[in-house]
Structure 1
Amino acid sequence: MHPYWIKTSGHLGVGVTARSEADALHLFELAFGSAQKIVSIEIIKDMNDLDHHVLPNLGSTNWLRRGIWFSQGQEHIAN
Structure 2
Amino acid sequence: MVVLHRFWFTLDRSLSPSVLNLGCGISAYSLDDAKHILAEQVFNIFGVRDILDVIEDVDVSTLEENHVRSNMGIPTIRGVWFPLL
Shorter-chain TM-score bucket reads 0.7 to 0.9
Moved over 4 A (4+): none
Aligned to 2:84: 72
Q: RMSD over aligned Cα, in angstroms?
A: 1.5
Q: Please say if 1:63 is aligned against 2:75.
A: yes
Quote the Cα distance in structure 2 between the aligned partners of 1:45 and 1:30: 22
The structure with the larger Rg is 2
The change in CA–CA distance for 1:45 and 1:72 in structure 2 (over 3 A counts) is closer
Q: Please say if 1:46 is aligned against 2:49.
A: no
Gaps of 5+ in 2: 14-20
Aligned to 1:35: 48
Quote the Cα distance in structure 2 between the aligned partners of 1:45 and 1:36: 20
Q: Percent identity?
A: 30
How many residues were matched structurally? 71
1:51 partner SS: coil
Gaps of 5+ in 1: 74-79
For 1:41, the aligned partner's letter is V
The change in CA–CA distance for 1:44 and 1:50 in structure 2 (over 3 A counts) is farther
Relative to the length of structure 1, the TM-score reads: 0.80
For 1:68, the aligned partner's letter is V
